[in-house]
Amino acid sequence: MEDLQYFLQHIGTDPSRLIFEDELTGLYNRRFLLNYFEHKLNWDALEAEPVSLLMLDVDRFKQINDTHGHDIGDQALIWVAKLMKQAAGEDGLSVRYAGDEFIILMPGTPKKKALKVGEELLKLAHEQPWLKEMEVKLSITLSVGAASAPEDAQDGKDLIHKADTALYYAKESGRDCLAESGEVPPQEVFSKTSLHQLEKGTVSGRESQFKQVSKALQDFNQGENQFVIIEGVDGMGKSEFLKTIRLNIADSDILQVEVKGNLQENFHPYYMTTNILVGILNALPDNGAEILNDLTPQEITYLSYILPQLHQSKDSPEQKEEEISRDQLFATLVGFIPRLLDSGPLMLLIDDMNFCDEASLLLLRQILLRDEMPLLVCGTSSHLQPGEIQRKPAPLESFFAQHHQELNIVRVMLTPLTATDIAKHFQRIFPQVHLPENFDMRLAQLTQGNPLFISEILRKLVSDRKITLTGEQWVLERVEEDYLPKSLEEIVSQKVAVLDEESRQLLDQASTFGENVSLSMLTGSSELDESKVLEFIDQAVAQGLISSEYHSNDENIRFLSKRILNLTYGAIQEDRKQELH
């Protein structure tokens, strides 16, 4: 049992995740900062304990690298780190965030005091010009952005965004200066703030689909087990839809477990069950130790087929997989899951459920029918076509054809967006925006109502400053016919072309891992230090190619859609693919 407990506590971990120090500068690294946000700060007590943050970078750092070489650039970063420690004192936490971007975090510090630290930092940079031993004198200056919570933000992610926007304004104002979030004119930073707004914007035109899910949730709360499948072709926003559901039920007291289907695993019996059990065990206060310790030797034998770490006796002969009684294994699992939850309710959210294995689907069916515990299964899938296709049906398609009536499976179809939906989407992100005549209809025709394609065009409009804030009015200027990309492939190609060679190679590398890859895994597979990889991540996030979320001492990188992943991977030359694999 100790092996399983250790596995649950360290699942997927990499030794590099335990490192909280930047190798070059000796400062804390980004992992430390995000971990501190998650575990050390009380975001509900900001009025009594405000938090301030300075974000800074080296002005024209790329020019320094290109002119004098990376060794000189590295020495410049070490010099900046020294100044930060002097300015921050004992109360400030100095962090190398990525590349030449740094952060000073000041817990319990109001903005007024933080601004003095920022001013002291600029003063030190002027008073202590950096002089290399080889007599190369560089005039290095810094730009600094400041933000505080709760004055400017309510959580760590938004606090960084606000400081980053202030830093952007400082650079736009001529560099070598300090800007604070509360005094930044919105018109001057609209391109930066608009990109942040896009991250928060949910697609309009899904009201009827959300009503279906809401009805299923209501029925579940009334004691009825539910099975919901969210369907749609690539780019319809299935994962985002499921994410919105998760956010809406986040405050519920009911245990929620998120898992994801894997194409390479869907013919391995019970692989999804393993993921579900690990999710449940990790969510329990004691990792399920009390129940696990009460298992009989026979139950341990069967469950160890799903959780090999349960087998702790070296003396007992190991049973071969073919000797495991399928019926006994199935019966053990059917009884174990409700027992593990003390027959309490469970919400199971499964992204890419079309890659779920057949055995796990049948197990969920049996639990739903036995009605020993309240269970809601909500998953996403490509469009199900049972009986309509020539190829061999996927496990979920066969399962649906055979069991949809007895389980009363709810199908939620994500359909293309209409011109009206598109106009509402623009209005939601940019309130009262003025659109050119018939622009929504043009977009609906061009994109065929594909939410991913629409979102990418919207991101392009923002990046190219075609959407502007005039006073309090958002305005989209008229765009020429040939301005709008003709396909999603064209947009992705343009985004990739903006990246430098090093970042393109990292993007290729990330795509070989599939839709998700951790920072530690990507760094470990490259020859670059973590700070360089973080710099790439920030660039790719800004371009709308990937997203990044912090979890379990690591950043988890995810392509914004399978379509973007496939387009990125498909563009790699075959010899390069072989090299990467």
Mean pLDDT of the chain, nearest integer = 88
pLDDT digits (tens, 9 = 90+) for 326-352: 888 999 999 999 999 999 999 999 999
**CA–CA gap between residue 149 and residue 496 (Å, rounded):** 35
Residue 81: closest CA among 23, 146, 162, 19: 23
Q: Per CATH, is 207-413 categorized as 3.40.50.720?
A: no
3-class state of residue 404 by DSSP? helix
| Backbone φ and ψ of 101, nearest 5° | -100, 135
Q: Is the pLDDT of residue 134 over 80?
A: no
Q: What is the DSSP string of 329-384?
A: HHHHHHHHHHHHTTT--EEEEEETGGG--HHHHHHHHHHHHHTSS-EEEEEEESPP
| Backbone φ and ψ of 500, nearest 5° | -75, 170
**CA–CA gap between residue 471 and residue 383 (Å, rounded):** 45
Beta strands in 92-165 (DSSP E): 93-98, 101-107, 130-131, 137-138, 142-149
Sign for the CA dihedral angle at 370, 376, 382, 386 comes to: positive
Residue with tokens 């951790």: 518
Q: What is the DSSP string of 451-477?
A: HHHHHHHHHHHHHTT-EEEETTEEEEP
Structure tokens at 294: 């009460």
**CA–CA gap between residue 152 and residue 133 (Å, rounded):** 43
Q: Is the pLDDT of residue 196 over 90?
A: no
Structure tokens at 91: 């109360």
Structure tokens at 65: 């690298």
**CA–CA gap between residue 286 and residue 308 (Å, rounded):** 19
The Cα diameter of the chain in Å comes to 81
How big is the chain by its Cα radius of gyration, in Å? Answer: 26
Q: How confident is the model at residue 210 (pLDDT cuts 50, 70, 90)?
A: very high
What is the rounded average pLDDT of the residues 263-281? 90
Q: Is the pLDDT of residue 317 over 60?
A: no
Q: Is the pLDDT of residue 152 over 60?
A: yes
CA distances from 237 to 241, 489, 573 (A): 6, 17, 29
- Cis bond before residue 317 (omega within 30° of 0): no
Where is mean pLDDT largest: 28-42, 237-251, 287-301? 28-42
What is the rounded average pLDDT of the residues 172-188? 89
Tell me the H-state helices in 222-261: 238-248
The single-letter DSSP state of residue 17 is G
Structure tokens at 80: 């900046």
**CA–CA gap between residue 22 and residue 78 (Å, rounded):** 11
**Domain residue limits, the chain:** 2-184, 207-413, 488-580
CATH, domain range 2-184: 3.30.70.270
Residue 273 near residue 266 (C-beta atoms within 8 A): no
Stated pTM of the model = 0.78
- Give 95's strand partners: 28, 103
Residue 352: closest CA among 428, 268, 259: 259
CATH of 488-580, picked from 1.10.10.10, 3.40.50.920, 3.40.50.720, 1.10.1040.10, is 1.10.10.10
Structure tokens at 322: 């073919």
Consecutive H or E run containing 310: none
Q: How confident is the model at residue 483 (pLDDT cuts 50, 70, 90)?
A: very high
CA distances from 403 to 196, 256, 400, 407, 462 (A): 43, 24, 5, 6, 47
Residue 567: closest CA among 506, 503, 459, 488: 488
pLDDT digits (tens, 9 = 90+) for 57-91: 999 999 988 888 888 899 999 999 999 999 999 88
b/e string for 388-416 if b means 16 or more Cβ within 10 A? eeeeebbbbbebbeebbeebebbebebeb
**CA–CA gap between residue 410 and residue 464 (Å, rounded):** 42
Structure tokens at 49: 């304990």
**CA–CA gap between residue 73 and residue 80 (Å, rounded):** 11
Residue with tokens 């072709």: 233
Beta-carbon contacts of residue 34 (< 8 Å; ≥ 6 apart): 156, 550, 555
Q: Is the pLDDT of residue 122 over 90?
A: yes
**CA–CA gap between residue 309 and residue 331 (Å, rounded):** 20
> What length does the chain have?
581
